[in-house]
Amino acid sequence: MMDTGADRLGEFRGVVGPYWSLRPVGGGAEWEAEPGRVRPAYPMERLRAETARVNARSRGERL
C-alpha cells in the first residue's frame, strides 16, 4: 500500500481505531496512516521497494 500522506510504501497490518497500520516492506517500525491517503501500490513502486531491500541486505545493512 502507498501512504501518499507520508510518501511511504508499506504492507497493510490492520486497523487501529480510525487509522490503518502499515509496516515497511521487509520489516521495520509500523506507522499509522489515514485510510483516505492510502492506495494500492503501483507495480513499479513495489519493485523499487523490494530492490532497495535486497540491495541493503547484500551490503550487510541491518533491516
What does the DSSP assignment read for the chain?
-EETTTTEEEEEEEEETTEEEEEETTS---EEE-GGGEEPPPHHHHHHHHHHHHHHHHTT---
What integer pLDDT is reported at residue 62 of this predicted model?
A: 73
What integer pLDDT is reported at residue 29 of this predicted model?
A: 92
pLDDT band of residue 63 (cuts 50, 70, 90) is low
What pTM was computed for the model? 0.80
Q: For residue 55, with 0-12 CB atoms within 10 Å meaning exposed, 13-18 middle and 19 or more buried, which class applies?
A: exposed
Q: What is the pLDDT of residues 25-60, one digit of tens each?
A: 878 899 999 999 999 999 999 999 889 889 988 999
Contact 42, 13 (CB under 8 A): no
Q: Which amino acid is at 17?
A: G
